[in-house]
């Protein structure tokens, strides 16, 4: 696809989608059989996260990595090595500062870009990509300003270029098994959902400036990898800074933006202790280390209550500055059953209960149900996904991005999902700043949610 073909294709595709709202999903899928063999991809951001996308894209026969942009030449070299190891051609490099990605976007041999940059760049770069006729796949985070969410939606609507929200946890194997059980009606009517980002990131937010993890107490200019930019958000902001891993999976289960929508939230935050304590207690830190003077604004644990149009409630927890085992804290509860996730996605590590199946008032281990209701997509692509990042789920989200482009099919996680999920961050910051006040979550679909049908893992066999 050239740039112009690409735009025409998506104009056609968009009108097809609009037309097909009244058609059953199967019809849409039939119409959307693959018509493009090869997707020409540009990578924007090839740091440690971006390199996983490079690895996945380089391994695919239906993708050519044309170019990559990143101001960090060391990261760029590593990314080129990944491509070389996969036996693919070297990508064109754009490493001339933060804005050189615009030259990548100006090329006419790129169909789509994957954006895996520091948070503040996601939406500006997605918008620039659409302006240049490229389809952006955008990594997770929260918005910096609420207006950013409107801007990305408006740009997509104006250009008719779709955007994919690359939320990998929607494809976590246990999460998809639970989605499968939800779709089969095993939980009854859903009522209450929880999720979060409960991950001790202290050893990521700080390092020694040379190696990325658990190596020191530096950040910002003296830090390396994520510590270079991510930690500053903990200095400047107090809110649900990373909502999508917790929210995305449960949003797909209750059809957010597709028959349902998020309406209101309020957030509260604990005092901020963990990051300062980490610096002071670290062998390379101490009370006299300059970073011991830094005031961190981010509360150690941020809780957000969300209401929906269809009467479910959601609780999100952001917990990244305290010592704790990793757990996204999922809970899916309906009129007939409840699942609680306690670990990191292992099939046998949660608790589950169904009124019509379990011994009364007694938790069951999840393993039996997870195996029995393993999602067809995982069964089919288990081997391809093996070795991909985050237990294989990264393969699925990148696969969906490429397969949809090839088929000219709507993305299962789209620009409205991106805007809605990203919006949690600035709204939660405002809520906390106002003492926990109630905030209205905008309807980025402008009423379309009432007629849009669920498409995440509905009917498709390929993504």
Q: Does 355 bind its own copies (CB under 8 A)?
A: yes
Q: Are strands 112-115 and 135-138 parallel, antiparallel or unpaired?
A: parallel
Find the binder of its own copies among 337, 389, 410, 454 (CB under 8 A): 337
What number of residues does the chain have?
463
* Closest to its own copies by CB, 36 or 342: 342
Other Cβ atoms within 10 Å of 290 Cβ, number = 11
Cβ neighbours for 261, distance < 8 A, ≥ 6 positions apart: 308, 309, 420, 441, 443, 445, 449
Count the neighbouring beta carbons within 10 Å of the beta carbon of residue 271: 8
Nearer to its own copies, 208 or 355 (CB): 355
Q: Which is nearer to its own copies, 24 or 325 (CB)?
A: 325
Minimum CB separation from its own copies for residue 235, in Å?
A: 18
Q: What SS3 state is found at 135?
A: strand
- 437 touching its own copies, by CB under 8 A: yes
Contact call for residue 264 and its own copies (CB under 8 A): yes
Which of the ranges 48-56, 132-140, 161-169, 297-305 carries the binding residues for its own copies, by CB under 8 A? 297-305
Q: With respect to its own copies, which residue has the nearer C-beta, 37 or 356?
A: 356
| CA distances from residue 336 to 137, 158, 184, 257, 361 in whole angstroms, order as listed | 36, 43, 12, 24, 12
- Applying CB under 8 A, the site for its own copies has a residue count of 52
Please tell me whether residue 280 binds its own copies under the rule CB under 8 A.
no
Complex with its own copies: residue 64 or 266, whichever CB lies closer: 266
Q: Can you say whether the dihedral through the CA atoms of 138, 141, 146, 147 is positive or negative? A: negative
Q: Treating both helix axes as pointing N-terminal to C-terminal, what angle do 146-159 and 122-131 enclose, rounded to 10 degrees?
A: 20
If one asks whether residue 305 binds its own copies (CB under 8 A), the answer comes out as: yes
Determine the 3-state secondary structure of 68 from DSSP.
strand
Minimum distance of its own copies from residue 118's CB (angstroms)? 25
Cα-based angle 56, 49, 40 (whole degrees, multiple of 5)? 40
Should residue 215 be labelled a site residue for its own copies when binding is judged by CB under 8 A?
Answer: no
Q: Which stretch, 75-83, 107-115, 231-239, 317-325, contacts its own copies (CB under 8 A)?
A: 317-325
Binding site for its own copies (CB under 8 A): 188-189, 191-192, 200, 264, 266, 268-271, 273-274, 277, 299-301, 303, 305-307, 310-313, 315, 319, 322-326, 333-338, 340, 342-343, 351, 353-355, 361-363, 435-438
């Amino acid at each position: 696809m050239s740039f112009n073909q690409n735009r025409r294709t998506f104009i056609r595709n968009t009108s097809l989608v609009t037309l097909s709202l009244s058609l059953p999903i199967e019809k849409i899928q039939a119409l959307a059989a693959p018509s493009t063999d090869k997707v020409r991809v540009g990578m924007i951001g090839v740091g440690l996260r971006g390199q996983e996308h490079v690895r996945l894209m380089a391994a695919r026969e239906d993708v050519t990595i044309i170019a990559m942009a990143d101001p960090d030449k060391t990261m760029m070299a590593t990314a080129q090595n990944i491509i070389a190891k996969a036996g693919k051609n070297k990508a064109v490099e754009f490493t001339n500062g933060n804005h050189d990605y615009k030259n990548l976007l100006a090329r006419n041999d790129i169909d789509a870009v994957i954006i895996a940059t520091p948070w503040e760049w996601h939406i500006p770069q997605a918008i620039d990509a659409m302006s240049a006729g490229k389809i952006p796949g955008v990594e997770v985070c929260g918005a910096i300003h609420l207006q950013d969410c409107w801007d990305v939606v408006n740009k997509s609507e104006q250009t008719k270029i779709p955007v994919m929200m690359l939320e990998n946890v929607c494809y976590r194997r246990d999460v998809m098994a639970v989605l499968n059980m939800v779709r089969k009606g095993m939980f009854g009517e859903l009522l209450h959902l929880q999720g979060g980002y409960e991950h001790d990131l202290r050893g990521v937010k700080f390092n020694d400036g040379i190696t990325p993890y658990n190596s020191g107490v530096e950040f910002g200019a003296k830090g390396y990898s994520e510590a270079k930019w991510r930690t500053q958000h903990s200095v400047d902001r107090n809110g649900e800074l990373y909502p999508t891993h917790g929210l995305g999976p449960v949003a797909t289960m209750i059809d957010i933006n597709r028959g349902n929508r998020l309406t209101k939230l309020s957030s509260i935050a604990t005092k901020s202790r963990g990051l300062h304590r980490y610096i002071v207690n670290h062998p390379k830190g101490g009370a006299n280390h300059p970073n011991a003077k830094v005031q961190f604004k981010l509360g150690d644990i941020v809780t957000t209550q969300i209401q929906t149009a269809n009467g479910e409630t959601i609780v999100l927890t952001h917990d990244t500055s305290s010592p704790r085992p990793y757990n996204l804290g999922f809970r899916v509860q309906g009129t007939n059953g409840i699942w609680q996730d306690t670990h990191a996605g292992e099939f046998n590590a949660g608790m589950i209960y169904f009124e019509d199946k379990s011994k009364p008032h007694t938790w069951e281990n999840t393993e039996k149900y997870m195996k029995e209701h393993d999602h067809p997509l995982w069964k089919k692509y288990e081997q391809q996904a093996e070795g991909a990042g985050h237990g294989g789920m990264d393969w699925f989200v990148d696969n969906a991005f490429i397969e949809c482009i090839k088929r000219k099919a709507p993305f299962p996680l789209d620009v409205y999902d991106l805007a809605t999920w990203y919006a949690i961050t600035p709204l939660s910051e405002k809520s906390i700043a106002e003492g926990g006040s109630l905030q209205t979550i905008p309807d980025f679909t402008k009423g379309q949610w009432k007629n849009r049908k669920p498409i995440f893992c509905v009917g498709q066999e390929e993504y």
